[in-house]
Amino acid sequence: MSSLGPGRAGQRSLTSVLSQDPTLRQPAALILRGRRFDASHPAVMAVINRTPDSFYSQARHTFDDALRRLDEVAGHGADIVDIGGVRAGQDGPEVSEEAEIERVRPFLERARAEHPEILLSVDTWRSGVALACAGLIDVVNDTWAGADSELAGVAARLEAGHVVSHTGGLPPRTDPHHVHYERGVVADALTELARSATHDREIGIPAERIIIDPTLDFGKTTADSLACLRRTDLFVDLGYPVLVAASRKDFVGETLDLPVDDRLEGTLAAVAVSVWMGATVIRAHDVRATRRVADMVSSIRGDRPPARSQRGV
């Protein structure tokens, strides 16, 4: 018999249940250039790749096309724009450090001039690239888990945010093969990310600028990525802002058996789950849809008031 049945005892139980707050994580805030992102306004990080071979064809941008895309994502509610100059996967030609700088720095200069309100991130594992972008970037997004040991120090010197990632020890631009984690992928990722974040603090990066990224797909099977996404709350519990980058990734495609161009709904499901569990930053190709989902989930959580509330008033 339900404890919420009729009668005074049932009413007391119901009152007790309704008075309880849902068990939601209150995420650590991300603070960049005086702007604060938290449960009431998770940051949407738009992807703009200055590469001819991005895994998602609509994210491949020439210089002029990238500028048009910047205008578009700014209008769609992007808070941060992440600029990449090298494809993450192993397919495609090698790109030298000089070529990577040439792809990203001129664009960052124009982006800063034309949209000073947008926070800018460079997606690189190379300290030389980040250093070449000094004065232009607010975030260094290292998706290869400190493969260049100097990169975190550059982020500290530039007073930029720093994304620390988990790749299972893979070097840059390599795809996972025969992946196995002795303690399980979530435990391994938690340990390595906590270690990287502690190192960042020791070299002078404040906690509000250290961004934890479980790095879905990198060094992971589809089951591994789903496991990490499922325990976003544990990454939030590390006490740093958490970034979730699920946009159109292979784990979404394999889960639903869909090609990259048809992975929007699966991506948005991952966005909703991660924001509900406390993610502070969502990296996205589909900015408008992601902004709306993040805002709606924030309101369902009770952290963001509706834009207007007239019905029944």
Q: What pLDDT digit, counting tens, does each position of 99-153 carry? A: 999 999 999 999 999 999 999 999 999 999 999 999 999 999 999 999 999 999 9
Closest CA to 56 of 239, 198, 263: 263
Domain-by-domain residue ranges, the chain? 27-301
Task: Please state, for a pLDDT cut of 70, what percent of the chain lies above it.
Answer: 89
Q: Identify the band that residue 2 occupies on the pLDDT scale cut at 50, 70 and 90.
A: very low
Contact 214, 235 (CB under 8 A): yes
The CATH architecture that domain 27-301 belongs to is: Alpha-Beta Barrel (3.20)
Q: What is the pTM of this model?
A: 0.90
Residue 193 has pLDDT above 90, yes or no: yes
3-class SS at 309? coil
CB within 8 Å of 222: residues ≥ 6 apart: 250, 251, 254, 255
Torsion of CA 247, 213, 50, 172, to 10 degrees: -110
Predicted confidence at residue 72, as pLDDT, reads 96
